[in-house]
């Protein structure tokens, strides 16, 4: 005879315990990690800040002004040192001091000199407050610290190629400025309204693909070729 089965607490617990099914974990990372799932495409970054214009270094005006100031100050310093050393002052400084002391303020030469100085000052102030480099079109920034620009002639060439792809366009002339892109196309067949509509659609898409921060407004004009002879 076999003895009674062992029904102790250990065997009873083993019999009552069942293995639960294993759930497949998703391909993505655990919750809270913030990482995209494997194989997922990262979203494209959006525009980063405003597309500001490029500022010119103004090298030529700055170099000319610095050179003139350097020569004038060097000549004045030499004359002052010479006078301190016991020599006579230069004739130009004597004449200038006498003229400034004797001539009235409403004198023609005084007014002319003041006008020239004011014009030069306004010109330098204008150069300091304006960015310059009008031939560059700022592009949209998609990464911080990275800036790009497109030459206006290059943008005009791209839009001209787009215009020549439109059916019915024989020739096209494009001028791109900061605020407006002017297109004049010559069509030798098809209705002018249809050509103008197709040109507007194609060029609007071309301007959008240039990636400019401030896309220029589009102005399209279509005409027939002139008569020969």
Mean pLDDT of 31-58: 57
Q: How far is residue 52's CA from residue 118's CA, in Å, rounded to a whole number?
A: 30
Cα–Cα distances in Å, from 180 out to 154, 204, 208, 219? 15, 12, 14, 7
Helix (H) or strand (E) holding 67: helix 59-84
Q: What is the pLDDT of residue 49?
A: 56
Of the ranges 41-55, 77-91, 156-170, which one carries the lowest mean pLDDT score? 41-55
> Residue 41 has which token pair?
């495409």
Which of 65, 67, 63, 97 has its CA nearest to residue 83?
97
Q: Report the predicted TM-score, pTM, of the whole model to 2 decimal places.
A: 0.57
Q: Which of 217, 194, 191, 221 is nearest to 204 (CA)?
A: 217
Provide the CATH topology of domain 138-223: Alpha-Beta Plaits (3.30.70)
Question: Burial level of 176, CB count in 10 A (0-12/13-18/19+)?
Answer: buried
| CATH code 3.30.70.1350 region(s) in the chain | 138-223
191 contact partners, CB below 8 Å, separation of at least 6: none
**pLDDT-based confidence at 4, cuts 50/70/90?**
very low
């Amino acid at each position: 005879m076999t003895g009674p089965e062992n029904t102790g607490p250990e065997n009873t617990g083993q019999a009552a315990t069942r293995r639960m099914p294993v759930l497949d974990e998703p391909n993505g990372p655990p919750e809270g990690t913030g990482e995209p799932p494997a194989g997922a495409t990262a979203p494209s970054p959006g525009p980063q800040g405003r597309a500001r214009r490029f500022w010119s270094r103004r090298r030529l005006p700055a170099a000319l002004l610095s050179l003139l100031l350097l020569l004038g100050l060097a000549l004045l310093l030499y004359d002052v040192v010479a006078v301190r050393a016991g020599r006579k002052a230069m004739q130009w400084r004597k004449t200038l001091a006498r003229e400034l002391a004797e001539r009235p303020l409403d004198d023609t030469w005084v007014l002319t000199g003041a006008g020239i100085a004011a014009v030069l000052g306004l010109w330098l102030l204008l150069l300091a407050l304006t960015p310059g480099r009008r031939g560059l079109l700022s592009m949209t920034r998609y990464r911080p610290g990275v800036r790009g620009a497109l030459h206006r002639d290059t943008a005009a060439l791209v839009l001209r190629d787009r215009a020549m792809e439109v059916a019915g366009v024989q020739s096209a002339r494009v001028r791109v400025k900061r605020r407006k892109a002017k297109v004049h196309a010559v069509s030798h067949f098809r209705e002018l309204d249809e050509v103008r509509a197709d040109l507007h659609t194609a060029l609007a898409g071309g301007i959008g693909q240039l990636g400019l921060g401030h896309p220029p407004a589009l102005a399209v004009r279509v005409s027939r070729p002139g008569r020969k002879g």
